[in-house]
Amino acid sequence: MIDAFDSFIQKLEPQLRTWRRELHQQPELGFLEYQTTYKVAKELEELGFTIHVGKEAVQSDSRYGVPLEHEIQEAERQALENGVPEDWIDAMQGSHTGVVAKWDTGREGPHLAFRFDIDALPILESNEPEHKPHTDHFRSTQNGIMHACGHDGHTTIGLGLAHLIAHFQSQLTGTFTLLFQPAEEGGRGAKAMVDKGWLEGVDQFYSGHIGINSLPVGTIAASTEGFLASAKWNVTFSGQSSHAGMKPEDGRNALLAAATTATQLHAIPRHSEGISRVNVGKLVAGNGRNIIADSGYLEIETRGQTKAINEFMQKEAKRIIQSSASMYDVKVDIEFVGETEKMTCDRALIPLIQEQCQQSAWVNHIDPVAYVSGSEDASFMMNAVQANGGKATYMLFGTHLPSNHHSPAFDFEEEVIPVALAAYAHVLRGGSS
């Protein structure tokens, strides 16, 4: 049967590459993945999966950072224009993107869940000659939006796994849930699937990431340590505009409040008990050159190796934001828009993964643990599974990285896709046997 899995994947490889490149060309931001959701759901429906989209898939009020109304409408308009049927758009209406697909073998066995994140990032993709998606003509067609974190690869792996399940259905036992999650960036989408109950009764949960650490293709890690708890906020300062030449003293400068917040937030003390992070990723303030700015907007994020450290960061950040507002006599609104939790992979899954994956010809080397940083809202799913007695892990799939995640020249070796698919496939066989 090993041979069968490996060789099925080998035959699927050209299709995997095609899927990945199609997805790469049509990236969509978090909670705006109308076209990606349709593409995935349609494919899985045809394979025989039971499909759940829209408010069946995600809990409406558990979503963080839902886009603005006009952004949603524009995305729905474009989806329609690009061939997504109207009834599908109706189902997803108002940013209810993402798919949950279930397969019940009808035979007794454990319930395994696999999670794939599908959203892209607001980055203008590189058009440098050394950037392969550019030279091989599958660069993003969406100006300023890019799959710069590899979720196009993740979605492709999920499509491959679905085909494999359908193909080998007669030999499998138990139940499989495939979660194609929206809005992972910013920690905004996972909780909405958790709160809909999709992780209840799951015995084993698997997710993972392409890259992160730059490793040779063929190397995988059975678990990870180091993902950080995180919190995401939008901050809006409201001041008073005035003519900058004629009445500067009548202005209450929201731009300076925002700028001061940015520099001072980055100066929050490092924490001695572990990793901490803070970032102001976006700042938009003011209207015109000769007007004292009456508005300032920030998108910020804190992280901590532990929940306590992240709480320290949040406490410091809040005080700095409020003090910056009072410094310039402006009002401030702090909106909580996303979070991830600390995650702990179950060590019990490591030998199981090692045993299964070493039987695959696609996998050369298995690290028991990879040390990473960053944050992942798969943490919500893992914590939900573990709270109910299930086991969960978050894996890594090696590829060399020409450039950092979230940078305009990010790319990965496409050979990692069949490797990751093989790993999940063998895990699936082992887990469900």
Binding site members: 149, 151, 185, 209, 406
Q: Give the pair of three-digit tokens for residue 25.
A: 């060309």
Q: Which residue in 240, 354, 359, 364 binds a copy of itself (CB under 8 A)?
A: 240
| Phi, psi values for residue 329, rounded to 5° | 60, 40
Q: Tell me how far, at minimum, the Cβ of 75 lies from a copy of itself, in Å.
A: 17
Q: Tell me how far, at minimum, the Cβ of 263 lies from a copy of itself, in Å.
A: 5
Q: How is 178-228 classified by DSSP, letter by letter?
A: EEEES-TTTT-SHHHHHTTTTTTT-SEEEEEEEEEEE--TTEEES-EE-PP
Residue type, 395: M
Decide if 29 contacts 117 (C-beta within 8 A): no
Considering the complex, state which of residue 162 and residue 300 has its C-beta at the smaller distance from a copy of itself: 300
Residue type, 245: G
**List of residues 6+ apart from 20 with CB closer than 8 A:** 152, 153, 156, 414, 417
Q: How is 308-368 classified by DSSP, letter by letter?
A: HHHHHHHHHHHHHHHHHHHHTT-EEEEEEEEEE------TTHHHHHHHHHTT-TT--EEES
Rounded Cα distance between 216 and 221, Å, is: 12
Question: Which of 269, 266, 268, 241 shows the shortest CA–CA distance to 255?
Answer: 241
Binding-site positions for Mn(2+): 149, 151, 185, 209, 406
142-201 residues in contact with a copy of itself (CB under 8 A) are 144, 149, 185-186
- Residue 251 within binding range of a copy of itself, rule CB under 8 A: yes
Considering the complex, state which of residue 6 and residue 294 has its C-beta at the smaller distance from a copy of itself: 294
Decide if 362 contacts 397 (C-beta within 8 A): no
Q: Which residue in 61, 170, 246, 389 binds a copy of itself (CB under 8 A)?
A: 246
Three-state SS for 269?
A: coil
Considering the complex, state which of residue 92 and residue 280 has its C-beta at the smaller distance from a copy of itself: 280
309-348 residues in contact with a copy of itself (CB under 8 A) are 312, 319-320, 322-324, 326-327, 329
- Residue 255 within binding range of a copy of itself, rule CB under 8 A: yes
Decide if 45 contacts 178 (C-beta within 8 A): no
Q: Tell me how far, at minimum, the Cβ of 60 lies from a copy of itself, in Å.
A: 22
381-410 residues in contact with a copy of itself (CB under 8 A) are 404-408
Considering the complex, state which of residue 93 and residue 238 has its C-beta at the smaller distance from a copy of itself: 238
Q: Tell me how far, at minimum, the Cβ of 36 lies from a copy of itself, in Å.
A: 18
92-151 residues in contact with a copy of itself (CB under 8 A) are 121-123, 144, 149
- Residue 216 within binding range of a copy of itself, rule CB under 8 A: no
Q: Which residue in 57, 91, 259, 395 binds a copy of itself (CB under 8 A)?
A: 259
264-303 residues in contact with a copy of itself (CB under 8 A) are 264, 266-267, 269-273, 275-277, 279-294, 296, 299-301, 303
Adjacency order of strands within the sheet including 295-304: 295-304, 229-238, 331-340
Neighbours of 350 (CB within 10 A): 18
Neighbours of 376 (CB within 10 A): 25
- Residue 260 within binding range of a copy of itself, rule CB under 8 A: yes
Residue type, 313: M
353-372 residues in contact with a copy of itself (CB under 8 A) are 372
User: Treating both helix axes as pointing N-terminal to C-terminal, what angle do 416-432 and 349-357 enclose, rounded to 10 degrees?
Assistant: 120
Q: Tell me how far, at minimum, the Cβ of 229 lies from a copy of itself, in Å.
A: 11
Considering the complex, state which of residue 256 and residue 345 has its C-beta at the smaller distance from a copy of itself: 256
Q: Tell me how far, at minimum, the Cβ of 73 lies from a copy of itself, in Å.
A: 15
Q: Tell me how far, at minimum, the Cβ of 390 lies from a copy of itself, in Å.
A: 27
Stretch that binds a copy of itself, among 43-51, 128-136, 244-252, 416-424 (CB under 8 A): 244-252
Q: Tell me how far, at minimum, the Cβ of 373 lies from a copy of itself, in Å.
A: 5
13-72 residues in contact with a copy of itself (CB under 8 A) are none
Please state whether 329 falls in left (phi above 0), alpha (psi between -120 and 50) or beta. left
Decide if 177 contacts 111 (C-beta within 8 A): yes
